[in-house]
Structure 1
Amino acid sequence: MEAKDAEAAMSDAEFLRLLELVQQNDEQAALALIRFFEPEMIRISRFIRMPQEDAVQSMTAELLAFFKEGQEAP
């Protein structure tokens, strides 16, 4: 169980670095962030009344759009 948690962990600095790269259209960074959030999206998709694949695909598209917007903190 601990190994699974350690594998899924990402430092704030690593997340911010990947986010910056995604905003510069780096596909590998986008894939890394998708892989990071994928287990949670799969878990959440169980509560959405649509096929799991469609739900995860929709969440992935929205997540990438949000990351690319480059929202700055107030």
Structure 2
Amino acid sequence: MSIQTDNATPALDTIVWGADAIAPHLGRTVKGAYCALEGGRVPGAKKIAGRWALNLRIFHATFEQAA
């Protein structure tokens, strides 16, 4: 598994760290992403040691199952 540390196009097995890096994947502002994360409305997101992490494989799989 790779760790996403910049804004390059990530692979689906990537973990994106921080609300500011997660926001573009959600199509929201940083504030909107943080509210969604804190509200538990982002599949594949988890708060680890006070920092948000998003597993893109789980996030994208949610949409593939729904289609």
Same fold by TM-score greater than 0.5: no
Tell which structure's C-alpha radius of gyration is larger: 1
Q: TM-score, normalised by structure 2?
A: 0.30
Q: TM-score, normalised by structure 1?
A: 0.29
